[in-house]
């Protein structure tokens, strides 16, 4: 059976600072329980697409001027970021964004800001430690003194504390050694399979992303120029020539 669509981005245009047209009619669908990859080089518009879904554009003086974003058939583009978090749509921003002066555990707990119920939050924390054993060993360390990989794990763990159904990851591989990237993607796959978290992952590391994704979209200059099943994209001659060397 075909999985249902959770996130439907429908022909969006995005303008920054009232003048700079960055997304020129982007449409994509993320199917329930899948891992979708959003690929393309620097400045292609991946981050902007994620921000349009999680409503983080305003802080960057950006706005959606055309099109719509739907979750399970319902428009969500008017919702605030925290309302989206409550509905289960959570973005992990590029560059990790842990609070440097807080411990790993304090950072994780900040991710539960939309939730109440101490026992449930404690259970989520245990679950995060279960998926990220490295974070458990580093729980009392200040984030500033942990490695890049641990900070990326902390950022994902923090998002998990909101109990998301859809996680938007912005370049999780950025600045990490290949072995650590692999470790992070393995955990993503685990979360996808065991917790049924749906992922949309923006990545310049095409090769790694397509190894783990079910479906891929390739962006260039604010447009989707190609899409397909991850395995088909991996074997596509144009993709091999233009994108698989990247990242």
CB 56 → ligand ATP: shortest distance, Å? 11
* Residues whose CB falls within 8 Å of the CB of residue 235, separated by 6 or more in sequence, listed in order: none
Q: Contact with ligand ATP (CB under 6 A): which of 8, 29, 34, 47?
A: 47
- Adjacent-strand bridge partners of 29: 8
Q: Contact with ligand ATP (CB under 6 A): which of 8, 48, 55, 198?
A: 48
Q: Contact with ligand ATP (CB under 6 A): which of 6, 12, 22, 184?
A: 22
CB 240 → ligand ATP: shortest distance, Å? 20
Stretch that binds ligand ATP, among 60-68, 77-85, 97-105, 129-137 (CB under 6 A): 60-68
Q: Contact with ligand ATP (CB under 6 A): which of 1, 2, 42, 116?
A: 42
How far apart are alpha carbons 75 and 8 in whole angstroms?
A: 9
Cβ proximity to ligand ATP, 6 vs 14, nearer residue: 14
Nearest to 147 by CA among 189, 111, 184: 184
- φ, ψ for residue 75 (rounded to 5)? -65, 135
Q: Contact with ligand ATP (CB under 6 A): which of 10, 15, 16, 142?
A: 16
- Residue 46 contacts ligand ATP per CB under 6 A: yes
* Residues whose CB falls within 8 Å of the CB of residue 206, separated by 6 or more in sequence, listed in order: 37, 39, 239, 243, 244, 246, 247
- Residue 21 contacts ligand ATP per CB under 6 A: no
How far apart are alpha carbons 131 and 167 in whole angstroms?
A: 15
Nearest to 128 by CA among 110, 114, 142: 110
- Residue 55 contacts ligand ATP per CB under 6 A: no
Under the rule (CB under 6 A), what is the footprint of ligand ATP? 16-17, 20, 22, 40, 42-48, 60-62, 94, 204
């Amino acid at each position: 059976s075909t999985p249902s669509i959770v996130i439907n981005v429908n022909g969006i245009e995005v303008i920054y600072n009232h003048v700079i047209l960055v997304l020129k009619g982007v449409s994509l669908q993320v199917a329930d329980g899948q891992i979708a990859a959003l690929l393309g080089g620097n400045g292609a518009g991946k981050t902007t697409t994620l921000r349009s879904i999680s409503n983080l554009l305003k802080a960057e003086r950006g706005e959606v001027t055309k099109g719509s974003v739907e979750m399970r058939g319902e428009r969500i583009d008017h919702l605030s970021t925290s309302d989206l978090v409550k509905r289960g749509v959570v973005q992990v921003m590029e560059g990790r964004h842990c609070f440097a002066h807080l411990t790993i555990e304090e950072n994780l707990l900040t991710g539960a800001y939309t939730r109440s119920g101490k026992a449930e939050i404690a259970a989520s924390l245990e679950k995060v430690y279960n998926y990220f054993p490295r974070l458990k060993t580093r729980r009392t360390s200040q984030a500033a003194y942990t490695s890049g990989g641990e900070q990326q794990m902390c950022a994902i763990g923090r998002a998990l504390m909101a109990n998301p159904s859809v996680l938007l990851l912005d370049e999780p591989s950025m600045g990490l050694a290949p072995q650590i990237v692999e470790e992070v993607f393995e955990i993503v796959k685990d979360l996808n399979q065991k917790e049924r978290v749906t992922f949309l992952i923006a990545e310049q590391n095409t090769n790694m992303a397509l190894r783990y994704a079910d479906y891929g979209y390739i962006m260039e200059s604010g447009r989707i120029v190609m899409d397909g099943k991850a395995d088909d994209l991996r074997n596509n001659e144009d993709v091999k020539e233009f994108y698989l060397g990247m990242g």
